[in-house]
Amino acid sequence: MHALLSAFTPIWVLTAAGYAVGRGGLLGEQAEAVLGRFVFHVAMPAALFMMVSEARLSSFANQSVIAFGAGTVAVCALGFLAAGRFFGRKTADRAITGMASGYVNSANLGIPVAVQVLGDASFVAQIILFQVLLVSPVILTLLDTGTDRGRVHWRPVLRRMLTMPVRNPVIMASMLGVLVAATDLRVPSALGRSCDLLGAAAVPTALITLGLSLHGRRDGAEATEAPASRGEVAVAVALKNLVQPLAGFGVALLLGLPEQQVLAVVLCSALPTAQNAFLYARQYGLDTALARNSVVASTVVSMATLSLAAWALGPPG
């Protein structure tokens, strides 16, 4: 439990700091928007480029990733469908609900939890690659097409989909990283250090931005949307914290994985919603309440689910 508390503490501290800064008005009214754009367009692409470019793509395909991926895809799809069927959401908002339901906080929380419980973070690196290279492009495509204001012609939509890697810094950085990794190129040391410095700002700035959003305006529109948002948050958190770990556990058993790999799959599946869901909603001008509240609620609930997974599947003693 001490290890889990140590892993969660930076998330709570930085989010609380962002809330305090927002409450005090220290950074001005536009701070949330500006910091959100900085993370999405600058810091996150730099971090993703270095992470993917230094990865060994050959280690990506294994049964543990398949087990995790199957549970993730199923839960994201359930969240996407539930948002449309039960809450009347359109495509872009449904994509955010799907992301909130199954996109795990693999970087700033997954790594310390894996090190403490599993002994190393090698599997988390594969999870990061899976989310960055496969899950994120699908979600961003849905967001991009779903926020295509009024243009229903198939040609503009197709053109936007084909040019999205050029227009979206997250996908572009990931693709460049894959190119570097696949061709065994070496990133020049000066460029690598610069990207590392920028990338190091991604997680803390994202958490500060999340905290700023918690002190957002309480206008009439928000009050009207609150009941539906609470229902969606409950669905997203249930899918994230309960269904996804169980799905990963079931697939891992079907594949006959060893006990340590089963623990790794369930533990990573039980991680809370990544703050990327909030950042994407913010970047595309969508309602951020669902993503923001899902990140906070799933982070609190995951303290129990992560502890349960470690106790039930970990080695005795």
Q: Give pLDDT tens digits for 220-269.
A: 444 434 444 788 999 999 999 999 999 999 999 999 999 999 999 999 99
On the CB side of 225, CA atoms within 13 Å amount to 15
On the CB side of 210, CA atoms within 13 Å amount to 29
* pLDDT value, residue 108: 65
Instruction: Report the pLDDT averaged over residues 191-206.
Output: 90
Residue 161 is given by DSSP the state: H
Mean pLDDT of the chain: 84
Q: How far apart are CA 16 and CA 10, in angstroms?
A: 10
Of 85, 149, 108, residue with least CA distance to 276: 108
* pLDDT value, residue 224: 39
Instruction: Report the pLDDT averaged over residues 146-155.
Output: 56
Length of the chain: 317
* pLDDT value, residue 220: 41
Q: Residue 29 belongs to a domain with what CATH number?
A: 1.20.1530.20
* pLDDT value, residue 94: 95
Q: Give pLDDT tens digits for 30-49.
A: 898 899 889 888 988 898 88
Q: Please indicate whether residue 107 or residue 22 has the higher confidence score (pLDDT).
A: 22
Task: Judge contact between 240 and 294, C-beta under 8 A.
Answer: yes
* pLDDT value, residue 276: 87
Task: Judge contact between 97 and 290, C-beta under 8 A.
Answer: yes
> What percent of the chain is modeled with pLDDT above 70?
85
Of 17, 40, 25, 36, residue with least CA distance to 217: 25
* pLDDT value, residue 218: 45
What is the domain range of residue 109? 2-313
Amino acid in the structure at residue 43: A
Of 166, 180, 167, residue with least CA distance to 51: 180
What domain count does the chain have?
1
Amino acid in the structure at residue 172: M
Instruction: Report the pLDDT averaged over residues 189-215.
Output: 88
Q: Give pLDDT tens digits for 90-146.
A: 999 999 999 999 999 887 678 767 877 787 777 887 888 888 888 988 998 888 888
Token pair 């949307």: residue: 225
- Using DSSP's 3-state secondary structure scheme, residue 284 falls into coil
